[in-house]
Structure 1
Amino acid sequence: MNNSAISLYELNNLIKGVLTDSLPEMVWIRAEMSDVRVNQNGHCYLEFIEKDRKGKTLVAKARGMIWANTFHLLRAYFENSTKQTFSSGLKVLVQVSVEFHELYGFSLTVHDIDPSYTLGDQALNRATILRQLEEDGVLNLNKELELPVPTNRVAIISSPTAAGYEDFLDQLNRNAFGFVFYTKLFPAIMQGDRSEESIIYALERIYEYQNCFDAVVIIRGGGATSDLSSFDSYLLAASCAQFPLPIITGIGHERDETVLDIVAHTRAKTPTAVAEFLIDNLSDTATELSEISHDIVTLVSQRLQDEAVLLSVFETKNTFILKGWYKEQESILSSAKSVLKKGMLRIQKENQQAFTLLEDVLKKRSKQLVKDGLDEFASIEDTLKKGIQQQYKNESIKLDTLEKHLHLSSPENILKKGYTLTMKDGKVIKRSTILNQGDEIITVFTDGEIESIVK
């Protein structure tokens, strides 16, 4: 047994002593704030980070905290001086004391802040990217897309092993309405230096099958705010802003908004919130379809009822006419029988053969009259039926004509015929006099768009 060995606690206590003896009580440091959060007691917990010169790779990171009474004063002082919210992404100059606890390890306690050292690399980079996207005229392009009806064919960009991805699928597939969603995962790296390239590659694969999907969902579980730098990328933001399908983000940070969140069609706080958005959207669609179906049934039922009443009136009228005709024929037949009877008594003995002939003639005449009446009634009934059928046919033709007219007048159909749509700064150009030399314009075809400069 080595008698010179010491315990872990003793080692940490030695480290604590060395730091206390070798460092001044207070030190001013430059660092970027990340993962800033305030608990219910008012204490602020955060991370201090430093990146390499390219601004991509972390080279240093330390836990930090500001006690509630100090944080209340420092935040008010900082925000009043800089007109910016005390939040992640800001590079700050703070005065800290170095703490080392035997159990909790290394941390920095903030005592003062210099407001003149304001905007950090992340925030400055984000502002620059947003300004460039706006100048390019693409900042709000994805937001202007309409969600298809229904939106239930979803392309997903996520890490296949992420808990957020599993939560999203579970929430989607176990919805209370029993809606069916068709999902396809396009795996991507969602953290680190390779995430930007990986997500763009996933978008390119989805683009090849864009007709198979209604929307794209980009989801990621929780984690430190410092891991979100890849979502503040110009290339990724520009790719999403100009993507032909609506993009919905849920990258798991309620308090942080990335450039990707800003250019996306819809931003949700978490992957499960994205699932709830899709479920609610489909629920609204189902409600609207149900109302339309009910209106159609009501209109058809009312129309059938009106036609039934009309037909009943015609039938009643013709029945009345037919009954009167039958009554008249019965009266004629009765009179004929009476005359026949008297004649029979009178001439029976004189000319039996002549009487028999007369009786046959009367019977044939009566049958012919009855047949003619029935034929006339049948003709009237057939005319009524044909008239109603023709009226239904005429109304159907009118509806079909209106539907075809609407289809032919739709923008999608007009583009398919070879026409194009010219836009400048997100607005449609209707007259050439609006354009000037050097203006950047976008020409929209049925299968995509191109950018041009007016010469």
Structure 2
Amino acid sequence: MDIYNHNQTEAPVALSLYELNSLVAEAISIGVPGQYWVEAEISEAREVRGHCYLELVEKDDRSNTPVARASAKCWQNRWSIIRPMFERVTGQRLHAGMKVMLRVYANFHEAYGFSWIVSDINPEYTLGDLARRRKEIVERLKADGVFDLQRELLLPMFAQRIAVVSSEGAAGFGDFCRQLHDNAGGYQFDVRLFPAVMQGEAVERSVVEALNAIYEVQEQYDCVVIIRGGGATSDLSGFDTLALAENVANFPLPIITGIGHDRDETVLDLVAFAHVKTPTAAAQLLVDHLSQTAALADRLCQRVVLAARRRMEMEQGRLRSLASRIPVLFSLVGEKETGRLDRLTARINSSLALTFSAQRQHLDRLAASVRDQTLRRITAEQHRLEMLERRVEAENPERLLKRGYSITTYKGRTVRDASQLPPDAEVETRVENGSFRSRVVK
């Protein structure tokens, strides 16, 4: 069908936009029949009124540059079935960056344009991709030599100062605190929360920021606990990132994780000092550790008491033995010490006499030396004074006057520059014999 008449003899025949889109829809339904399985990466995923809207992308393996893009939709009636199954199998929600295998069919709507309609998702494909990515991160950490750094740390025996990374006001944090507070041993813990986002795409950045804040005051804490404050097990993707794993692996304090999942371990769990399933279990781990420390202290205390008791019994026997020997020993010791005191007295007297004689000689030498130095200093100062007198005499203005020079003053100050004198200024000129006054004429 011609859409324009070049002869301009009659008006062009045009289709309405709806008619044109209907032709496209019919062509697509005929040319792209049936359903297809497609592999793609999600660049955006969102839910609106129960429907799921996806933006798909395929990237070049070498340059990571997108080579294909498409929009896809999964309607509510189908999404309500697919989503629970997918999240139950993978433990993940659909999110940006996830690789998926979708079963789709082409759809062109006259009002909304073209999109692929999702009828099914293969969770096993995503599981394989997640496992591959997790394996790559673990291998990278092992190659860098940081994978086991946390397990080389020691949890302090009295680990009671706890830094917690969790979402503020979350139920999980409350459970953690109650478990610590209500422990059977009555142990006291000092807990401080460093708030962080614990689900969604902001997990990595938020948790790293919280760890950085703890690092600045690390000397105030014995360990760090990372717990999720509730949320679905499908929100764990943020804990499977290289940047977060590297931060945890290199952290100087032991880190315990309890992010509330039963199916798989995240990379964060693998590099942590210890990991448990829930915030309550993390608190119980700390309580048990302190309980073990208390039990060890009790055992050591009992050993100290027994050792002290045995030592006291041994010393009591020794004292009784010594008490029976004291009368005899006292007589012998008294005589021995009396003779020793007499010898020490004689040595002290002799030493004092020698010391006094030596000091007297030293004082005599010092007196002679001071006398000689004083005479030399007086002579030198007398010579210096004579030189100063000669210099003063050489600078005496009277000598200059006797040689024919004069000194002119204005208001008591010597005149050095005639141009500085005001007109009619009265100046005084002093010569060898007397002085006279004169007035400046300009």
Normalising by the residue count of structure 1, what TM-score does the alignment of the two structures yield? 0.49
Asked if the contact 1:218–1:248 (Cα under 8 Å) also holds between the matched residues in 2, the reply is: yes
The one-letter code of the counterpart of 1:231 is F
Partner residue of 2:330? Answer: 379
The number of residues matched between the two structures is 260
What does the per-residue CA deviation read over 1:157-178, in whole Å, with 9 as the maximum and x for residues that have no partner?
1111110000000100110100
What does the per-residue CA deviation read over 1:133-154, in whole Å, with 9 as the maximum and x for residues that have no partner?
1111111111211111111111
Partner residue of 2:307? Answer: 299
What does the per-residue CA deviation read over 1:81-122, in whole Å, with 9 as the maximum and x for residues that have no partner?
xxxx964469665779xxxxxxxxxx9789xx797x575443
The structure 1 residue matched to 2:242, chosen from 234, 252, 259, is: 234
Per-residue deviation at 1:49? 10
Q: How far apart in 1 are the matches of 2:137 and 2:73?
A: 25
Q: Is 2:173 the partner of 1:165? A: yes
Partner residue of 2:233? Answer: 225
Q: How far apart in 1 are the matches of 2:53 and 2:39?
A: 9
1:94-105 paired onto structure 2 within 5 Å: none
Partner residue of 1:178? Answer: 186
Per-residue deviation at 1:67? 13
1:273-288 paired onto structure 2 within 5 Å: 273-288=281-296
Asked if the contact 2:194–2:210 (Cα under 8 Å) also holds between the matched residues in 1, the reply is: yes
SS in 1 for 2:319: helix
Asked if the contact 1:254–1:270 (Cα under 8 Å) also holds between the matched residues in 2, the reply is: no
* Further displaced range: 161-170 or 129-138: 129-138
Q: Is 2:260 the partner of 1:252? A: yes
The structure 1 residue matched to 2:220, chosen from 207, 212, 235, is: 212
1:21-420 paired onto structure 2 within 5 Å: 62-64=79-81, 87-88=90-91, 93=101, 117=125, 119-315=127-323, 317-318=324-325, 376=327, 379=330
Asked if the contact 2:261–2:277 (Cα under 8 Å) also holds between the matched residues in 1, the reply is: yes
Partner residue of 1:413? Answer: none
Query: What CA RMSD, in Å, does the superposition of the two structures yield over aligned residues?
Result: 4.2
The one-letter code of the counterpart of 1:124 is R
Per-residue deviation at 1:261? 0.8
Q: 1:50 to 1:213 in 2, by over 3 A?
A: farther
What does the per-residue CA deviation read over 1:49-82, in whole Å, with 9 as the maximum and x for residues that have no partner?
9676599xxx9783447999xxxxxxxxxxxxxx
Asked if the contact 1:222–1:253 (Cα under 8 Å) also holds between the matched residues in 2, the reply is: no
Q: Which of 1 and 2 has greater Rg?
A: 2
5+ unaligned residues in a row in structure 1: which ranges? 1-23, 33-47, 69-84, 97-106, 319-374, 384-455
Per-residue deviation at 1:226? 3.0
Q: 1:60 to 1:311 in 2, by over 3 A?
A: farther
Per-residue deviation at 1:258? 1.1
Q: How far apart in 1 are the matches of 2:291 and 2:73?
A: 48
Asked if the contact 2:91–2:236 (Cα under 8 Å) also holds between the matched residues in 1, the reply is: no
Q: How far apart in 1 are the matches of 2:189 and 2:149?
A: 26
Q: 1:142 to 1:294 in 2, by over 3 A?
A: same
The one-letter code of the counterpart of 2:158 is P
Q: How far apart in 1 are the matches of 2:38 and 2:90?
A: 17
Asked if the contact 2:170–2:230 (Cα under 8 Å) also holds between the matched residues in 1, the reply is: no
SS in 2 for 1:257: coil
Per-residue deviation at 1:195? 2.1
Partner residue of 2:401? Answer: none
The one-letter code of the counterpart of 2:257 is T
Per-residue deviation at 1:379? 3.1
% same residue: 43
Q: How far apart in 2 are the matches of 1:148 and 1:166?
A: 24
SS in 2 for 1:301: helix
Q: How far apart in 1 are the matches of 2:123 and 2:235?
A: 26
5+ unaligned residues in a row in structure 2: which ranges? 1-32, 42-51, 65-71, 93-97, 105-117, 335-442
Asked if the contact 1:221–1:270 (Cα under 8 Å) also holds between the matched residues in 2, the reply is: no
Asked if the contact 1:200–1:239 (Cα under 8 Å) also holds between the matched residues in 2, the reply is: yes
Asked if the contact 2:90–2:127 (Cα under 8 Å) also holds between the matched residues in 1, the reply is: no
Q: How far apart in 2 are the matches of 1:237 and 1:154?
A: 20
What does the per-residue CA deviation read over 1:368-422, in whole Å, with 9 as the maximum and x for residues that have no partner?
xxxxxxx946938999xxxxxxxxxxxxxxxxxxxxxxxxxxxxxxxxxxxxxxx
What does the per-residue CA deviation read over 1:21-75, in whole Å, with 9 as the maximum and x for residues that have no partner?
xxx999857699xxxxxxxxxxxxxxx99676599xxx9783447999xxxxxxx
Q: How far apart in 2 are the matches of 1:381 and 1:66?
A: 101
Normalising by the residue count of structure 2, what TM-score does the alignment of the two structures yield? 0.50
